[in-house]
Structures are given as C-alpha cells and as structure tokens.
C-alpha cells in the first residue's frame, strides 16, 4: 500500500471538490483528489448539463409548432429521440475536458480514481493508497433518492443517472415527483412529442412562491402536460413497457416508462465517518458556519453538507474553505445571497425569502414591489410577455426576489449582486438599462417600489407646487 502525505485531501470530483482542488493546488498546496466515479460529478454527467441540453432540444421542437405567431407557418417537428440524446452526450463531451483528470493533474493535483473511506480522524484509504492529510474536504455530493414505494423494486425505472442513457422513445413517460428536476424533464419530453404525466404527492413546485409556481404550471398544462397533484404513490406494478402507478386517493396512471425524481440523498455510505469522529444529520454531514465538521480538520462542502443542493452553492463554498484551510483566516458561508432557478419555460428564480416567508420574518416592516412582465416591450415583441417579478424590501433594501418568466435565471443575477453587497433599491433604480431589453424588468420593479413614494405622496406634490410657483 502506498502511503501519501499532503496538505489537502479532497474526496469527490464534483463542482465543489474540483474548485477547491484547483484553487489550492495553484496557490501552492499539495493536493490529492479522490474520485471513484465520473470526473465532474453529477452536474456534468447526470444533472445540470445534460438536463439543459435536453431542454434545448425540447425548445427547438416547440419553436416549430408555435412559429405561426411570427408569420412563419407552424411545422410538425420530426423528432429523433436518439439524436436528441446524442446531442446531450456531445454537450457533455465538450465540457468534460474542463473537469478532466488530465487538466487537474496539469495543475499539480494528484488524482486517484478510487472511492475513499476514513480509517482515523486524519487518514483516508482509497484502493491501494493510504493518505494522511493536514485538512480533508468531503465533497461526495448526492444521489437520487429512491422512495420505498411498494412494487418499485419489481419494475424497471429511471433516475437522473440513467435517463440520459435512454435512447428508445418512450410512448408515455410517468414521472414521480413534481419538483424542479421532475418538471424540467416533464416539459422537455412533452415538447419532444412524448406523452408525459407528472405524479406529485403534494403540490408541484411546492417549495416556490405559489403565485410564481402557478404561472409556470398553467403554461405547462397549456402545452398539454398532465400534472396530477395530491397524488401520493401507493403501489407500483407492471413490467417494461407497461408500468402502473396507483395513488392513495384511488387514481391510477399507466405508462411505458417511469422516472423517479422525488429528491436526493447525501453520499455518505462509503466514507465510514464514524472512524473520523464526524457526526451526521438527517440530510447530510453536520457542519458549522465555516463548513467544518465535528472533526475540526475535516470540512464538508456541497450536497453532502446537507444544505441547498446546487452546483453554484458548492462553488461558492469552495472559496470559503480555501480562505479557511489555506490561509487560516476566519470564513463563514452565507446563504442569504444564494439564488436558484428552475429551467422550465417560463423559468422560475428565487433569492432570499418568498413573499410569505418574508411577511412572517419582517411583518409590517416589509414592502412588496411588483411588476407584471407582460408589460416588458422586448418580450412583447417576441410574443413571450408573461410572468411576474416581486421584490421583498425592508427599509429600502431588498431581502428577497421572486421571478417567474422568460430568462428568470438570468434576471436573478442582478439581485444576487445587489443582495450580496447589501445595496439598496435606489442602486437598481439608478441603473440605466438599454431599451428594449428583458433586463429592464429589474429596473421597472425598482420603479414600482419608489412610485408610491413619489406619485402618491401629498408632500411631494406640495413641494413641487411650491417650487413651480417660485421658479423664474
């Protein structure tokens, strides 16, 4: 067995682990990186990248059947599902070199393609290697959660880890789970001409602002997507090509293929965390604000740390860990400035609390500014003007923003900047946006916040009247 000593040992080559490994190595630390599966982790191989590529295929097909509104005759798209999946694989292949073993070895990282497990608080074994590190970063990510539904283990089913390998066209795709993954994949498949049914035990997109979620769900239903809510799966039966999901309220759904998309679980099973004195919670590894575990030499980052499961969160946390582990400086992870987006059409985006959450936190101190996206001239020109933006404001400072509409995931970027830097609404109102752009939506909601103070204020009108009487 080879014995290795290093400054940093990173377990997991997903977004967070790669960010730490690259940054630390280039700053002079000796780094060992362990990965027993795919370089790039879930995001590159089974999540963000392939899902957005398939969404793009669905968007292209949908454009052909809705082009008449632009003076171009509608066409029935000739969809080749296998070719769409080949497009997905090609997109992954184009991005993969950025996350490749060769690239990180070029940074000076020792890459070992094995899973790791703790054998003591500072020592990890991986294959024929025994590694002693000054600091360890656990970045093992998460995997699809497979619920214990009776009969599920007797039928073939898909998860996000197997969906993108499917090349035969489903006749009717059933999706258990109406969260972001389920709804994104449902719309993509519906637009590719595949009958799709979403089976959700509670409310679809239930973690989002209900007003915003309704905008998205109404559009999905208008496209023909069947969304069954309050439909808790009770029993699954059948065989390949004919799978039936029965729900607790007596409904029954039969399709050719089944996708399970009910959530994710932290990857902790292989790590033997007890040997390192690391405590866990129901959702992942227990960490403090600096992302340290109960073993002070070990950090946890990304999905396995039990917080928000987003690639950009892991990337942000990598910077926190580098500051602490490399420079010994105090560093704490924030969550108030972290946005997220769901890439349906229209998109959903959120940063900070929703309106209901903000009212509970701030009470009468809260002001909610609204702007109907229907009034954005650029989107009117593109026949896409539907949606809403809401800004939750306390003492002139935005604390949360909800967006449902085209390019919501792009629009939320400005608010991430504003909230991260504790700027006021006046900073957004003072911005000059080119006309006509979708980005004007952000400025218009800032205008909606100030309008009552300017146009409905008797004091302002008295001052204007006084000045006008005395101006020469």
- Count CB neighbours of 265 within 10 A: 16
pLDDT in tens, 162-202: 999 999 999 999 999 999 999 999 999 999 999 999 999 99
pLDDT given at position 461? 65
Residues 395-442: tens digit of each pLDDT: 999 999 999 999 999 999 999 999 999 999 999 999 999 999 999 999
**If you average pLDDT over every residue of the chain, what do you get?**
95
> Closest Cα to residue 143, out of 161, 118, 166, 162?
161
Work out the pLDDT band at 453, boundaries 50, 70, 90. confident
398-409 as b/e: b if 16+ CB within 10 A: bbbbbbbbbbbb
Taking the C-alpha atoms of residue 55 and residue 83, their distance in angstroms, rounded to an integer, is 14
pLDDT, tens digit, for every residue of 431-444? 999 999 999 999 99
Which positions make up the binding site for FAD?
52, 116, 140-142, 303
Helices 180-191, 210-222: crossing angle, 10 deg rounding: 20
pTM: 0.94
Percent of the chain with pLDDT over 70: 98
How far is 417 from 413, CA to CA, in rounded Å?
A: 6
Binding residues for NAD(+): 177-184, 200, 263
Q: Is the pLDDT of residue 472 over 80?
A: no
Q: Which residues of 174-198 are buried (b: 16+ CB within 10 A; e: fewer)?
A: bbbbbbbbbbbbbbbbbbbbbbbbb
Structure-token pair, residue 305:
């740390």
Please write the tens of the pLDDT for every residue from 275-302: 999 999 999 999 999 999 999 999 999 9
Q: How many whole angstroms separate alpha carbon 306 and alpha carbon 280?
A: 9
Instruction: Enumerate domains of the chain plus CATH numbers.
Output: 2-39+100-144+265-327 (3.50.50.60), 152-262 (3.50.50.60), 339-455 (3.30.390.30)
Q: SS3 for 471?
A: coil
- Per the annotation, binding residues are 52, 116, 140-142, 177-184, 200, 263, 303
What are the pLDDT digits (tens) for 60-74?
A: 999 999 999 999 999
Nearest Cα to Cα of residue 128 among 300, 1, 20: 1
- How many beta carbons lie within 10 A of that of residue 168, not counting itself? 10
């Amino acid at each position: 067995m080879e014995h290795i000593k290093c400054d940093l040992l990173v377990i997991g080559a997903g977004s967070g682990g790669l960010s730490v490994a690259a940054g630390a190595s280039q700053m002079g630390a000796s780094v060992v990186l362990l990965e027993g599966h795919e370089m790039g982790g879930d995001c590159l191989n089974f999540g963000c990248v392939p899902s957005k590529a398939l969404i793009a295929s669905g968007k292209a097909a949908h454009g052909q059947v809705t082009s008449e509104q632009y003076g171009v005759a509608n066409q029935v798209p000739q969809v080749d599902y296998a070719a769409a999946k080949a497009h997905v694989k090609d997109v992954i292949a184009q991005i993969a070199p950025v996350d490749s073993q060769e690239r990180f070895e070029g940074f000076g990282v020792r890459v070992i393609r094995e899973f790791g497990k703790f054998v003591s608080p500072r020592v990890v074994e991986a294959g024929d290697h025994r590694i002693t590190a000054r600091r360890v970063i656990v970045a093992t990510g998460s995997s699809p959660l497979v619920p214990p539904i009776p009969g599920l283990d007797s039928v073939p089913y898909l998860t996000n880890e197997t969906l993108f390998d499917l090349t035969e066209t489903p006749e009717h795709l059933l999706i258990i789970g109406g969260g972001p993954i389920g709804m994104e994949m449902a719309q993509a498949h519906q637009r590719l001409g595949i009958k799709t049914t979403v089976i959700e035990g509670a409310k679809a997109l239930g973690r989002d602002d209900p007003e915003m979620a309704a905008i998205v769900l109404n559009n999905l239903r208008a496209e023909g997507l069947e969304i069954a809510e309050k439909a808790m799966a009770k029993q699954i039966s059948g065989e390949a090509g004919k799978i039936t999901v029965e729900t607790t309220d007596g409904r029954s759904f039969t399709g050719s293929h089944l996708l399970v998309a009910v959530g994710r679980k932290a990857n902790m099973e292989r790590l033997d965390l007890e040997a390192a004195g690391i405590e866990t919670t129901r959702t992942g590894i227990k960490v403090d604000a600096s992302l340290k575990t109960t073993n002070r030499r070990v950090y946890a980052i990304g999905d396995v740390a039990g917080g928000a499961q987003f690639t950009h969160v892991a990337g942000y946390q990598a910077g926190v860990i580098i500051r602490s582990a490399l420079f010994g400086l105090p560093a704490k992870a924030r969550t108030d400035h972290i946005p997220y987006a769901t890439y349906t059409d229209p998109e959903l985006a959120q940063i900070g609390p929703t309106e209901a959450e903000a009212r509970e936190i701030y009470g009468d101190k809260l002001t909610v500014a609204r702007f109907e996206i229907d009034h954005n001239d650029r989107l009117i020109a593109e026949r896409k003007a539907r949606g809403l933006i809401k800004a939750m404001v306390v003492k002139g400072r935005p604390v949360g923003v909800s967006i449902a509409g085209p390019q919501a995931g792009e629009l939320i970027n400005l608010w991430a900047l504003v909230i991260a830097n504790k700027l006021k609404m006046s900073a957004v109102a003072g911005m000059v946006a080119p006309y006509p752009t979708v980005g004007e939506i952000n400025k218009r909601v800032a205008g909606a916040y100030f309008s009552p103070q300017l146009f409905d204020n008797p004091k302002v009108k008295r001052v204007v009247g006084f000045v006008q009487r005395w101006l020469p």
